[in-house]
Amino acid sequence: MKLKTIMMSSAAFAVAATGALAQSETPDSPVAGEPMSNEMTIVSWGGAYQESQLKAYVEPYLEMHPDVTVTWDESSAEAVAGMRAQAEANNITWDLVDVTAADAMRLCDEGLAMEVDMDDLAAPAPDGTSASEDFGDEMLVSDCFIPQIAYSYTFGYRNDVEAWNGQEPTEICDVFDLETFPGQRSLERRPHNNMEWALICDGVAMDEVYDVLETDEGQQRAFDKLDTIKDDTVWWTAGADTPQLLADGEVVFGSTYNGRLFSLIAEQDQPVSMMWDAQSYDLDGWIIPEGLAEEDLNRVKDFLWFATDTQRLADQAKYISYGPARSSSAPLVGQHAELGIDMAPHMPTNPDNASNAFVQNYEWWADYRDDLDAKFQAWLAQ
C-alpha cells in the first residue's frame, strides 16, 4: 500500500484509508484481540517535529495496519484550552495529544488526561529492562505523561550581520545587548523561558530563578528586564515563525526549539548559527484524553506500544535533533536519514552543548502558568 498525505485544512491532514472498526493489532500489544477503532486523531506541533513523528513511527505503523486512518491536528500549543473545551462540551475529538511536560501535569491535575502505567503501555527494552526503568524517573514527571523526547528552547542568530562588525554572540545575555548586537529579536508570546532568561540576565543564579519568579517583585524584575528589548522584539506564536523570520532577515536573534534551528541550519543551509548558552531543557510526550470510547482507547494503546519502543524513538532522532526519551534508544542514534551527518553533536544533551544548560521546573510552571500567562499578556498590551 502506498501511503498518501491529504491536506484537510491549515491545521490538519490525514494519512491513508477509511472505515469504522478494525481488528488489526501490533504483535505483543497489550490490547491484542480487542476491538479497535480504525480512525485516530493525533494532535502535534506541525513542522519538522511532526514530520519526524510521521517518518519514525506513524508511517511504519500504517504499513502494518493499512485499514487505519490517522488524522493530524496541529493544535498542541493550545492543547490545554482545547481539552478543557472538549471536556466541558462532553465531546472528546482528540485521541492522542502531544504536549510539554508542564502541560501534561496541568491536564493530569485537572483530570483531563488519563493516568497510565508505563509497563502496561510500553514495551520493555530489548534487554528486558522494564519500560518504566528504561524511561527513568527524570522522564516520568507525571502519572499521565508518556515521554517521547528531550529538547530545548534556544536562540538562533544571523551570522552575517554587518552591524555586528564581525562579532558573534556567545552567551544568553547578548540577547539583551542592543548596543553590541543591534537588530530585531523574536521571542515567544508567552512567559515560559522569557521570564527565566530575563532574570538570569538580571543577575539571578540559575538555581534561584524560580524562588525569585514566585514573588510579585521577582516577576516585575523579569518584566523590567524584558522592557529593555520589548520595542525591538517580534513575538512569535508558532514554531515555524522564528526560523522564517531568521531566514528572511527580519530578525537577527530568535528563540525557538533547537530542532527547528537544526532544520534551518543543516537542512536549509541558511546563514544562521545556534547559541546553546542557557538553552532551556524541556520534555515532550503524549497524553491520552480521559473519556475515550473503548475502541478508540484500544487503538491508541496499540499504537503507543509500537511508537514508544526502543527502535522507534531512536528512529525519530534520524530526522530531528531531539534526544530520545528511552535510555536504550540513545546508543542507536546515528546519522540523519537523508543528510548522512552524525546527529549526536546536534542534540541538546550533547556535553559540548549542555555545559550551561537551564533545566525547567515543570511542576512550577504547571502551578503558575495560568496566572503568569494573564500577567504576560497584560504586559504585552501596555
Tens of each residue's pLDDT in the chain, 382 residues: 223 333 333 334 444 333 334 445 677 899 988 999 999 999 999 988 999 999 999 999 999 999 999 999 999 989 999 999 999 999 999 999 999 998 999 999 999 999 999 999 999 999 999 999 999 988 998 999 999 999 999 999 999 999 999 999 999 999 999 999 999 999 999 999 999 999 999 999 999 999 999 999 999 999 999 999 999 999 999 888 999 999 999 999 999 999 999 999 999 999 999 999 999 988 999 999 999 999 999 999 999 999 999 999 999 999 999 999 999 998 898 899 989 999 988 988 888 888 899 988 988 998 898 999 999 999 999 9
pLDDT tens-digit series, residues 124-162 = 999 999 999 999 988 998 999 999 999 999 999 999 999
Task: Provide the grid cell at 128.
Answer: 528486558
Residue closest to 368 by CA, chosen among 207, 146, 196: 196
> How crowded is residue 213: how many other Cβ atoms within 10 Å of its Cβ?
22
pLDDT the model gives residue 25: 60
162 alpha carbon, distance to own chain's centre:
33
AA letter at 365: W
Give the per-residue pLDDT at 26.
Answer: 77
Angstrom distance (rounded) from CA 374 to CA 1: 49
Which residues are CB-neighbours of 298 under 8 A, at least 6 positions away? 31, 34, 35, 36, 37
Contact 142, 115 (CB under 8 A): no
Contact by Cβ (8 Å): 127, 328:
yes
Helix (H, G, I), strand (E, B) or coil at 185: strand
H or E stretch including 152? strand 146-158
Distance CA 13, CA 8 (A): 5
Q: What is the pLDDT of residue 47?
A: 85
Distance CA 158, CA 150 (A): 25
Q: Which residue has the cell 526503568?
A: 133
Q: How far apart are CA 319 and CA 337, in angstroms?
A: 6
Lookup result for grid cell 494573564:
374
Cα–Cα distance for residue pair 192/198, rounded to 1 Å: 11
pLDDT value of position 8 = 36
Summarised one tens digit per residue, pLDDT across range 259-316 is 999 999 999 999 999 999 999 988 999 999 999 999 999 999 999 999 999 999 999 9
pTM: 0.80
- Residue 275's beta-bridge partner residues? 155
